[in-house]
């Protein structure tokens, strides 16, 4: 389909200024854009780069333009860009069916519109919904349920009794429902506590590559609707994560912690167990959380404290070398006042 500035503007509820018939064949950043490309600008710096680029069309916010190029004005350029990319680069879907190399238990219920890829293993009592795609080498443990329009990428392992919602995406190498890390000291050894719970993942969740989500010791580990989890995240047993959270790479969440809705955990955050993190909390990168955090608070540091307080402490640390030098000078002045030198004795010793 031929895409023009006018058609894309209609798609994103935008306004064309310039040539509405300008054809768009691709999307590129301003630095590498060629004729026929769309680029986008969300601030003045990007806009200046865009208008000097070779791009044919610029996607901009309401407060930019006009210029010599065709522009599409929208309320939010990033949201519009996501819609356009979805239009220009639709994800390929394999034809429904079960690959001949897949191993499927006869008791499994697989919707005829689903796709089961090469070398997948589907165990007893599994249910897989309409339009769901399992790519190569996916293992689904017994009695697990996977909803509609879900896409599971290669080499994902889903342990028994897992419950996965609709329109979920799970990327390669992730493990859903492995044993929680539960042991107790018994006669000098670490005795394993059987982990007999499960994992529940809500609708519209995305899970990155090499994420591990442990099943509950008793009851579920819960991931709420719309939550997005980046690569290399560890979620321990019986953790509960609310709706529409953002969990960024290398976060670790210890067992039984509860996280509210719309909360953001930045990269490499560590959260201790049995804590309660409120709604709309933001935890800055590399913070260590050891206490409950109320709704709406922004925290930073290890241990994590309110970010304004943490920033004041960090600013104070920058002045510490100068402060130590000044303290040493003051101490020397005080020492000389309290123990003045004996000039007469010093003169005699020189004679």
Q: Which residues are catalytic?
A: 237
What burial class does residue 271 get, using C-beta atoms within 10 Å of its C-beta: 0-12 exposed, 13-18 middle, 19+ buried?
A: buried
Distance CA 255, CA 241 (A): 12
What is the distance between the alpha carbons of residues 59 and 40, in angstroms, rounded to a whole number?
Answer: 4
Q: Which residues contact 226 (CB under 8 A, 6 or more apart)?
A: 202, 203, 204, 205, 243, 244
Match 């509820």 to its residue by tokens.
Answer: 13
Q: Would you list the DSSP string of 199-239?
A: EEE-TT-EE-TT-EEEPPSSSEEEE-TT-EE-SS-EE-TT-
| DSSP code of residue 23 | B
Q: How far apart are CA 69 and CA 5, in angstroms?
A: 11
Greatest CA span in the chain, whole angstroms? 110
Handedness of CA 31, 32, 36, 37 (dihedral sign): negative
Number of helical (H) and strand (E) elements in the chain, helices listed first: 6, 38
Residue 280 and residue 261 in contact, taking contact as beta carbons nearer than 8 Å:
yes
Mark out the alpha helices in the chain (DSSP H runs): 5-11, 44-51, 77-88, 307-318, 320-338, 343-350
């Amino acid at each position: 389909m031929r895409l023009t500035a006018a058609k894309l503007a209609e798609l994103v509820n935008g306004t064309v200024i310039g040539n509405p018939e300008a054809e768009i064949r691709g999307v590129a950043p301003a630095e590498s854009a060629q004729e026929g490309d769309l680029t986008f600008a969300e601030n003045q710096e990007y806009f200046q780069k865009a208008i000097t680029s070779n791009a044919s069309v610029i996607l901009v916010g309401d407060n930019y333009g006009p210029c010599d190029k065709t522009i599409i004005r929208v309320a939010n350029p990033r949201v519009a860009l996501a819609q356009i990319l979805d239009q220009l680069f639709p994800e390929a879907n394999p034809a429904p069916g079960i690959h001949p190399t897949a191993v499927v238990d006869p008791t499994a219920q697989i919707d005829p519109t689903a796709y089961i890829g090469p070398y997948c293993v589907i165990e007893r009592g599994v249910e897989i919904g309409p339009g769901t795609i399992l790519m190569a080498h996916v293992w689904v443990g017994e009695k697990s349920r996977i909803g509609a329009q879900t896409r599971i990428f290669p080499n994902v392992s889903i342990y028994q009794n897992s419950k996965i919602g609709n329109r979920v995406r799970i990327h390669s190498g992730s493990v859903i429902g492995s044993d929680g890390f539960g042991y107790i000291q018994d006669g000098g050894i670490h005795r394993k506590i059987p982990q007999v719970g499960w994992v529940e993942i809500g609708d519209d969740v995305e899970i990155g590559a090499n994420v591990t989500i442990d099943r509950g010791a008793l009851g579920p580990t819960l991931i709420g609707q719309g939550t997005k989890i980046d690569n290399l995240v560890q979620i321990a047993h019986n953790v509960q994560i609310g709706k529409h959270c953002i969990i960024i790479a290398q976060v670790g969440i210890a067992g039984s912690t509860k996280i509210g809705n719309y909360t953001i955990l930045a990269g490499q955050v560590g959260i201790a167990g049995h804590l309660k993190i409120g709604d709309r909390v933001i935890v800055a990168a590399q913070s260590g959380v050891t206490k409950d955090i109320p709704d709406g608070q922004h925290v930073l540091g290890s241990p994590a404290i309110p970010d304004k307080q943490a920033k004041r402490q960090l600013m104070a640390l920058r002045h510490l070398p100068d402060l130590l030098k000044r303290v040493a000078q003051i101490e020397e002045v005080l020492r000389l006042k309290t123990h003045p030198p004996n000039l007469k004795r010093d003169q005699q010793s020189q004679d």
